[in-house]
Each structure stands twice: as structure tokens, then as C-alpha cells.
Amino acid sequence: MKGKVALVTGGTGGIGTEICKALANGGCKVAATWLKGVDDGDGWLAKLKAEGFDFVIVEGDVSKFDSAAAIVKEVEAKLGPVDILVNGAGITKDGFFHKMKWEQWEAVLRTNLDSVFNTTRQVIEGMRQRGYGRIINISSVNGQKGQAGQANYSASKAGMHGFTMALAQEAASKGITVNTISPGYVATSMVMAIKEEVRNELIKQIPAGRLAKPEEIAWTVAFLADDRSAFITGANIAINGGMYMG
């Protein structure tokens, strides 16, 4: 993957940051997206610079098609055509379905699933023309098994893998692989936001007995982005400490 251009949506988040680092360590030029009012892009960039990483950050809302188009345009102007796209932007708005508001459903579907269309659509034609591409969608164990309190999130994450399987078939002959990674519960602010007693019950359901480390997810992204993974496409790689084996 040396010299390849990678775009990581949600790149300033808990898992996203480690993905950016792993791709940079593999020799990629890496751009991360961040969203004003939600993330601290400049603070993140400065922190990572102090650690020796030279990333590009682009502000924008991948849940909106025009914003995603502007993001990709800016990345391409700064780094060149996108070779590796990691769809990592995601949110939760948990609640039992009988109490769920349309806004909770809509926000999660827009950010987690529409964003996959919005960003991938910007890069797919160029990847086809150049005969190379890696698209990696960060889904969730809860897209595979479902989770009480997450009808919106589980639907969005299951939808991501449906997208992966369809596009993998369309793009395979053009040197493009499309894969899903389904992390279990990872030690990030998203999981730490779950009420402590609920979280402890969830951890009891993980045979490994602990949360995943973000770098354990990033490692698999780098593996899929590697040139030697060219024959892996349409896969859904579970990284959940044994929580679910579907």
C-alpha cells in the first residue's frame, strides 16, 4: 500500500485514529474527515503531528451527498485520487424501539449508511478507470446479531454489509475489493457512553472477557488494504472476542 492515498471517514474518532495510524505506518498518504461541532479536528491534527504523523484533515458531513463530494474533491486536490476508502463514520442513538423517535432513526441511518453511498459514489468511477481500489466498511457485531436498544444502528450496520456484497460483485473485475469489518465492543467513547451496569453486562457476553483495543480493528483494515489481500472481497470479518460467530 506504499504511496497509496487513503481516505478515512470518521478518522478522528476512537477507531478511526488507529486506522489512520495503521495506514500511515504502511506507507499511505492519509486523509481523515471530521465534523465541526462534534470533533476537534485541529486539536487532533496537532496531537498526531506531535506523535510524528503527517495527516490531512477535511471538515465535512458525510451524511450529506454534496458535503461528501466536497470532501473527496479536497482530498484529491491535496493528495491525489483516492485508492483506499475506509467508511468509518458512525454514531449511535440508542433506545428501545417502542420509544424510538424518527429523529433517532433518521440520524443513525443517514450517518452510518447513507454516508457509505455518499462517499463511495465519489470514488468508484476513478477506481474503476485506474483498475485499483480498496473499500473497507466498518460495520458492527450488532449488524450481525442485532442488539436490543439498537434497531436503528443494527439496521444501518447490516445494511452496510449488503452494500459490500453487491458492490464487491460489480467491482471485482476492475481490481477493486470491497469488504466489511464487524468489530465487537471496542474501548472507545461510544462504548464508554453506555450506562456502566449495562456495559458490564455486555462485557460478560464477550468470551475474551474484555473490550477490543482500537488498534486490533485498525490492524485488520491495514491487512485488507494491503496489495496481497487482492483476492479477499465481499467478506465480513468479525473482530468480537468470540461474542458472535454467525
Binding site residues, ligand CAA, CB under 6 A: 92, 94-96, 140-142, 147-150, 153, 185, 190-191, 194-195, 198, 202
CB of 107 to ligand CAA, least distance (A): 14
- Identity of the residue, 172 or 190, whose beta carbon is nearer to ligand CAA in the bound complex: 190
Strand, helix or coil at 197? helix
- Complex with ligand CAA: residue 131 or 162, whichever CB lies closer: 162
Minimal distance in Å, beta carbon 132 to ligand CAA? 30
Give the contacts of 31 (CB within 8 A, at least 6 positions apart). 5, 6, 7, 8, 11, 55, 56, 57, 58, 75, 78, 79
Report in angstroms how near the CB of residue 178 gets to ligand CAA at its nearest: 20
Q: Which residue in the list 132, 153, 185, 244 is annotated as catalytic? A: 153
d(CA 102, CA 94): 12
What number of residues does the chain have?
A: 246
For ligand CAA, the closer CB: 79 or 141? 141
Instruction: Please give the C-alpha separations between residue 161 and each of 20, 94, 141, 238, in angstroms, as whole numbers.
Output: 22, 21, 11, 12
Nearer to ligand CAA, 54 or 201 (CB): 201
Question: Are 41 and 217 contacting, i.e. CB atoms less than 8 angstroms apart?
Answer: no
DSSP 186: B
Residue 132 appears among annotated catalytic residues: no
Relative to beta strand 176-183, strand 236-239 is parallel
In the complex, least distance from residue 216 CB atom to ligand CAA, rounded to whole angstroms: 14
Which of 198, 86, 200, 188 has the alpha carbon at shortest distance from 134? 86
Mind telling me the catalytic residues?
Answer: 153
